[in-house]
Structure 1
Amino acid sequence: MPRLTHFVPAPRWSSTRLALSVTVLAILSACSVTPPAPQPEKPPVAVVTPQPAPPVVIPEAPPALQSQAVTPRDYRRDAAGHLYSKNSKRIYSGKMPPLLYAVGVLQVDIDRKGHVTDIRWMRAPSHAPEVMADIERSVRAAAPYPAPVRMGRVTYTDTWLWHKSGRFQLDTLTEGQM
């Protein structure tokens, strides 16, 4: 066997030096570790705060009909227009024929709010009681009338021109006769 001529002994480590080297290696190995994979983001938690209830909106009633008439004759036009609007399908269109089925003159009392308080016949078509009843029913059903704000209350008179078909015109708004 050959002889070794040259022998280099291994360095000797002191226990303190050895402990220090192991600690440094442990720290270095901890630093080289790959970071953990990112965690998926959690969706944000919805925080529900109770909202106050929306205010209740109560629609206002339409403004009351008003008449600015200062005389019963002026008011008669407003009342006739009101009656026509409430009975649009019953208005005779065009000029009335020379011979009418009935003609009646009626007085109507209206209070300050436009309600009918009384009806009186000045000239009743007594030969046609069904016409009288129909006119009275129509007058009362059309209430409330435009409120006579300048007069407080009013009594107006109008003439009803009645065709045999059951349609009519008021003298205030008549289209005339043939």
Structure 2
Amino acid sequence: MKTRLTICLLALALAGCGGKAVLDRSEVETTGDGTSTADTVGEYKLALAQRIAQVNSTKVYIGRPQALLRSVVVVKYVVDAKGSLLRSEIMRSNRDRSTEATALASLRSTAPFPKPAASLLRHGRIELMETWLFNNDGRFQLRTIAEPQMDE
């Protein structure tokens, strides 16, 4: 698991040389019917973070986030057994409407997600939280796959 995360972060760093994030699609592994191979909620959350970054690569910041972030937006979202986004809501924010809209839009544009494994579902769905870290330029990283912030 740590090796996959290291490889993902290295891919993000190297992709920065070209100006936009490009992740290897093989990082988000699924079975033939589109079910995620993730065995734990943490692995599934990592796979979804990678997918959100892939789909929204032009909005993703490459490199270490700045020391004082423009905005931190925490979103709770629910995915059903088919991988559909059932709902999402802002749980924490500094009320920067632009970054809130970007976080929610990036989530919606990524759906449908890989189907979660049946073992991860509770009442036919899985509830997750993710944190969007925004730099001053409006681009973001997801905390699940973000590099450490710069020192002040």
Same fold (TM over 0.5): yes
Gaps of 5+ in 1: 1-62
- What is the DSSP-based 3-state SS (H/G/I as helix, E as strand, rest coil) of the residue aligned with 2:141? strand
Distance 1:71 1:120, change over 3 A: farther
- Give 2:108's aligned residue: 140
- What is the CA deviation profile of residues 6-47 of structure 1, one whole-angstrom value per residue up to 9, with x for unaligned ones? xxxxxxxxxxxxxxxxxxxxxxxxxxxxxxxxxxxxxxxxxx
Query: Identical aligned pairs, as a percentage?
Result: 33
In the TM superposition, residue 159 of structure 1 has moved relative to its aligned partner by: 0.9
- Tell me, in whole angstroms, the C-alpha distance in 2 between the residues paired with 1:122 and 1:74: 22
Give the AA of the match of 2:57: S
Which residue does 1:71 correspond to in 2? 40
Match of 1:119 in 2: 88
Task: Report if the CA contact (8 A) 1:82-1:146 is conserved.
Answer: no
Distance 2:54 2:35 in 1: 15
Deviant stretches of 4+, over 2 Å: 63-66, 68-74, 149-153
Structure scoring higher RCO (CA < 8 A, sep ≥ 6) equals 2
- Per-residue deviation, 1:73: 2.4
Cα distance in 2 for partners of 1:155, 1:70 equals 15
Higher helix content, 1 or 2: 2
Q: By how many angstroms is 1:64 displaced?
A: 4.8
| 1:158 to 1:149, Cα distance in 2 relative to 1, 3 A | same
**Structure 2 unaligned residues grouped into runs of 5+:** 1-31
Map of 2:9 onto structure 1 = none
Partner of 2:21: none
Q: Which amino acid counterpart does residue 88 of structure 2 have in structure 1? A: I
Distance 1:65 1:145 in 2: 9
Q: Which has the larger radius of gyration?
A: 1
How far apart, in 1, do the equivalents of 2:94 and 2:35 lie?
31
> Superposed, which structure 2 residues align to 1:22-101 within 5 Å?
63-101=32-70
Aligned counterparts of 2:85 and 2:113: Cα–Cα separation in 1: 8
Over aligned residue pairs, what C-alpha RMSD do you find? 1.8
Is the 1:75–1:156 Cα contact (8 Å) retained in structure 2? no
**Could you say what secondary structure the match of 1:161 adopts?**
strand
Change (3 A) 1:169 1:64: farther
| CA shift for structure 1 position 175 | 1.0
C-alpha change, 1:146 and 1:160, in structure 2 (3 Å) is: same
Farther off after superposition, 134-143 or 67-76: 67-76
